Amino acid sequence: MAKKRFPYLLGHAEIASLYDVERQTSQLWKTRGVLGDPDVVVSGNPYWLLATVLRLAEDGSRAYLPARLKEYKAGIDGGYEADDPAELPDIVGLKEIPWVFGKKYMDVYQWRVRRSLTPEDAVVSGSPLWLLDTVLADAEERGRATVQDGIDRIRAGEREQIKPRGRKPSAEPKAAPKPLPKVRTFRPGKDSAEDVAAFAAELMEAGFALTVRPKR
């Protein structure tokens, strides 16, 4: 049986380690365009080819640590360098594997917890990744039925995409606030306490807060 080969892919955690910076710095490089769009997105997580990441050092403004690079490569069993995203094999994560079996995410998650799913081929930035062929071979060995439509989606390049950060826009526009009532001044001898109480009650019933500041 041929030895599995898995391409060297890096997420923000590996990029930060390689260049000895904080993870937020790697994310900032992405935001500022220093680090381009990810070469592949799997289960909503961005990944870059090793060749893409090493190009960050070409202009001399930053340098990677050779020892960290060696350590990273040693952690990817059967790792190899791919130069073009088009050369990548079909890679899936926990959010695409359910498509293969017509299952829900939690079903597949429980398979992994109970070790009734083949071990991942790599863990990148804390997320498990599998070659699609690894998952299909495991399904055949276990006699687990697969869904061709889901497999076709993956082979066509469809993946769970990155969710936008921040608050979701409201489906309905907020109503404009009520206009404030006109200011009224109450004077001794001209207005009674009942007038003041009635005005205060009117404001509070309309949902307004009330602050009383006495004046001479």
Tell me the domain boundaries of the chain.
6-155, 175-216
- Confidence (pLDDT) at 172: 63
What pLDDT is attached to residue 173? 64
**What integer pLDDT is reported at residue 2 of this predicted model?**
63
In this structure, what DSSP letter does residue 56 have?
G
**What does pTM read for this prediction?**
0.74
pLDDT of residue 25: 96
- The conformation of residue 57, written as its DSSP 8-state character, comes to G
Task: Please report how many Cα atoms fall inside a 13 Å half-sphere around the Cα of residue 79, on the Cβ side.
Answer: 18
CA distance 110 to 124: 20
- CA nearest neighbour of 47 among 33, 62, 30, 64: 30
Q: What is the DSSP string of 105-132?
A: HHHHHHHHHTT-SPPPSEEETTEEEEEH
* Cα angle 54-79-89, degrees, rounded to a multiple of 5: 95
Tens-digit pLDDT profile for residues 50-98: 999 999 999 899 999 999 999 999 999 999 999 999 999 999 999 999 9
Res 163: pLDDT = 72
C-alpha to C-alpha distances, 69 to 16, 98, 102, 167, 209, nearest whole angstrom:
11, 33, 38, 37, 62
Six-digit token pair at 149?
A: 């439509």
Residues 129/9, Cβ–Cβ less than 8 Å? yes
Task: Please state the φ and ψ torsions of residue 175, each to the nearest 5 degrees.
Answer: -70, 145
Residue numbers of the chain with a pLDDT score lower than 50? none
Question: Residue 171 has what pLDDT?
Answer: 58
